[in-house]
């Protein structure tokens, strides 16, 4: 961790933290962790960070994510939310491939992809006619680069309600019309 960047981010406003996340994932990692430690239940200006090993949703089949770790950082600014997903330790066979990833309504439970339920969808939450796109759901598709890393950023005009949810990684890129992305490979639990 870049400690001086972390201190800088912690002192900065949420707006500048988001800018930092675009410039440097390291700065946001450090800053976000310090903010979470200082205010673990605040869901306001600070980024809320979850990190850890990915849970395997298909234990009987090997996938490039079997040894991967991920981090999800959510930053709310008013009614807008920026979500940054970073994945590390992805198998070499996945280099150059793009995978769909989304915030799902349900929990992340190893070996049980169905437990993640459907996508978190803001129009559905509001009881409105359901619209499926990158503005009503948090889509985090990423392409594997370098030494098995992937990163995605989502900006949406809503704040997801608090609950135990999951970020699910799928086998294919997200279809922009249907929002589907093939088999569920792995997930990270998120709660805020
Ligand atoms: Cu999904």
Please tell me the distance between residue 102's alpha carbon and the centre of ligand 1 in angstroms.
4
Distance CA 161, CA 179 (A): 20
Please tell me the distance between residue 189's alpha carbon and the centre of ligand 1 in angstroms.
13
Residue pLDDT, tens place only, 150-164: 999 999 999 999 899
Structural domains in the chain? 41-191 (2.60.40.200)
Give me the pLDDT at residue 47, please. 86
Please tell me the distance between residue 38's alpha carbon and the centre of ligand 1 in angstroms.
31
The DSSP bridge pattern shows strands 150-156 and 80-88 to be antiparallel
Give me the pLDDT at residue 31, please. 35
Give me the pLDDT at residue 45, please. 59
In 3D space, the residue among 135, 115, 141, 114 whose CA is nearest the CA of residue 123 turns out to be 135
List CB-based neighbours of ion ligand 1 within 5 Å.
102, 168
Helix (H, G, I), strand (E, B) or coil at 59: coil
In 3D space, the residue among 35, 20, 185 whose CA is nearest the CA of residue 101 turns out to be 185
Please tell me the distance between residue 61's alpha carbon and the centre of ligand 1 in angstroms.
19
Please tell me the distance between residue 96's alpha carbon and the centre of ligand 1 in angstroms.
20
Where the chain has pLDDT below 70, the residues are 1-45
Give me the pLDDT at residue 34, please. 34
């Amino acid at each position: 961790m870049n400690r001086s960047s972390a201190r800088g981010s912690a002192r900065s406003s949420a707006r500048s933290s988001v800018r930092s996340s675009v410039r440097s994932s390291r700065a946001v990692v450090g800053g976000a962790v310090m903010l979470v430690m200082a205010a673990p239940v605040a869901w306001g200006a600070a980024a809320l960070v979850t990190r850890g090993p990915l849970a395997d949703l298909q234990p009987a089949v090997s996938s490039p994510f079997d040894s991967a770790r991920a981090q999800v950082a959510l930053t709310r600014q008013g009614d807008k939310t920026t979500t940054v997903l970073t994945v590390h330790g992805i198998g070499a066979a996945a280099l150059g491939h793009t995978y769909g990833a989304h915030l799902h309504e349900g929990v992340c439970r190893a070996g049980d992809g169905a437990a993640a339920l459907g996508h978190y969808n803001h129009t559905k939450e509001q009881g409105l006619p359901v619209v499926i796109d990158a503005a009503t759901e948090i889509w985090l598709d990423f392409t594997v680069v370098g030494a098995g890393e992937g990163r995605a950023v989502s900006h949406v005009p809503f704040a997801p309600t608090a609950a135990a949810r999951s970020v699910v990684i799928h086998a294919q890129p997200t279809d922009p019309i249907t929002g589907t992305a093939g088999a569920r490979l792995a997930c990270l639990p998120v709660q805020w």
